[in-house]
Chains A and B, each alone.
Chain A
Amino acid sequence: MNRCIGITLSLILFFSSCSRNQLHRYSRESTAMETYVSVTIYDADVSQERADALVDSAFSEIHRIENVMTDYADTSEVGLINVNAGKDTMEISQELAELLRKSFSFSEQSNGAFDVSVGPIVKAWDFLSSEPKIPSKSKMRMLRQLVGYKNIVVEGNKVFLNAKGMRIDLGGIAKGYAVDKAIEILKRNGVKNTIVDLGGNLGVWWDGTHSLDSAVAEILVRHPRKEGKFFGSLNVGTCGVSTSGDYQRCFIKDGVRYHHIIDPATGYPAKDVVSVTIIADDAMTADALSTLVFVLGREKGMEFIKKSKGVEGLIVWEEEDKLSYELSPGLQGKFKRSDD
């Protein structure tokens, strides 16, 4: 009987100790790159002042990258490249040159489904405007001729756009890159546990953990058709997570949904799926591949995920108002679908 009491008390002590959380949570939010950003640090004993300084350093890094890579300002590096399209070769930072080369690698791998030269078409749709318009067919024909990553010439730190009117748009990769760089700054300053969220592009850094091998952070995936609800969840350690969905930056006209994920081959929003979530080793890869897989569609997209090392994904599509989904092999048994 004494053994029975002992076991009971041990269990009580076990559950009591489990419910005690050792890490404190410091979180701040702001806006950057035309979306929201939050930086959360988990630490046992960092002071509020120190946490504030760390978060400030992460925000500063994100704003620095925004100032280099935005195409909304003609004074950024990307803005200057675009203004000088077809005219002048521009000298750019090594950082931007490397990001462009990385984006070309995604373009090569996907046969152009990911293409940062899609800028003229994205600008014509203007999804950030309060009244976005559908570009006319004739205008679209003309704009499509300006798209093609092979017409962006990068040699060392010099870049030239082959035709006037071409535009680079890093909207499919820069946010993830900024998340990685913010985490890099935090790591350099001794942070061991953090989540950086830039418009749903997540970077999780949890010292000693790796991707789906760990389960320190719960990631909720937004429901593509029910605002404020979640489609499901998964648990991860250090990794990047990104979702591209047709419900973000979209408008509906005559019963047709037009969204911001443009298929560079057609100039129109990619249609096959409604949402793609990618888990990768870093946020930049997750960001780029969520767009790339969305454009490739259900079958080719899943093939791409399966052949990409360290990449897992969830693809959601809609048939007659009903959502279906497919998980890559590594997510099987790890993704929990929410009740609708």
Chain B
Amino acid sequence: MKMITLGDKILIVVVFLCTVGSFFAKNLLASQGSLVIIELKEMPVYKGKLTEDRKVTIKGAYGDVRVQIRGGNVAVVHADCPNKVCVRTGWRSLSGETIICVPNQVIVRILGEERNEVRGITG
């Protein structure tokens, strides 16, 4: 029977570390979003990185909706709508989070790595 060589041992260690590392990277790191998509009447009207600071104004069904992307967060900072649910939603940053303005038919989505996370946000 052949003896295991030093090269084999190094290979085993490298494969092991890569497997364990990818497991922890995928499952334990916070899923910060990376992309912002703004939809008007279910059609995408803006797509950009969450890391690029920017102000975007959308002409919604009811009036203007001003979206601000700043420091990895996104918020609707102004909306011409009656109840301002979208503005009060505040700043969002995690993949899967959304900000919705029903009267204007505008949805701001944060996308990131596709994951089947079981997660809720309170507060």
Contact = CB atoms under 8 A, between A and B. Distances in A.
A38 B92 CA distance: 15
A241 B123 CA distance: 10
A32 to B, nearest CB: 9
A73 interface: no
Nearest to A275: B123
A11 B120 contact: no
A278 to B, nearest CB: 9
B15 interface: yes
Interface residues of B, number: 39
B92 A42 contact: no
Contacts of A241: 120, 122
A229 to B, nearest CB: 8
Given A21-B116, A219-B122, A228-B73, A29 B98 contact: yes
Interface in A241-299: 241-243, 245, 248-249, 275, 277
Contact of B121 (A4, A24, A34, A197): A197
Interface string A1-30: 100110010011001101101011101011
Contacts of B89: 36
A48 interface: no
B84 to A, nearest CB: 7
A241 B23 CA distance: 29
Nearest to A227: B91
A31 B123 contact: no
A277 B75 CA distance: 24
Interface string B105-123: 0010000000111111111
Interface residues of A, number: 55
Describe B's contact surface by its main secondary structure: mixed
A94 B84 CA distance: 33
B48 to A, nearest CB: 17
A195 B118 contact: yes
Contacts of A227: 73, 75, 90-91
A200 B27 contact: no
A225 to B, nearest CB: 11
Describe A's contact surface by its main secondary structure: strand
A222 B122 contact: yes
A16 B123 contact: no
A38 B98 contact: yes
Interface string B67-95: 00000110100000001110011111110
A35 interface: yes
Contact of A202 (B20, B27, B102, B120): B120
B27 A36 contact: no
A216 B88 contact: no
25 contacts: A5-B12, A8-B15, A15-B23, A19-B22, A21-B116, A24-B116, A25-B116, A30-B102, A34-B83, A34-B85, A35-B88, A36-B98, A197-B120, A202-B120, A216-B118, A217-B118, A219-B121, A220-B120, A220-B121, A222-B122, A223-B123, A227-B90, A228-B75, A249-B88, A277-B122
Given A23-B118, A218-B120, A249-B88, 10 more contacts: A5-B12, A15-B23, A21-B116, A38-B98, A195-B119, A202-B120, A220-B119, A227-B90, A245-B123, A277-B122
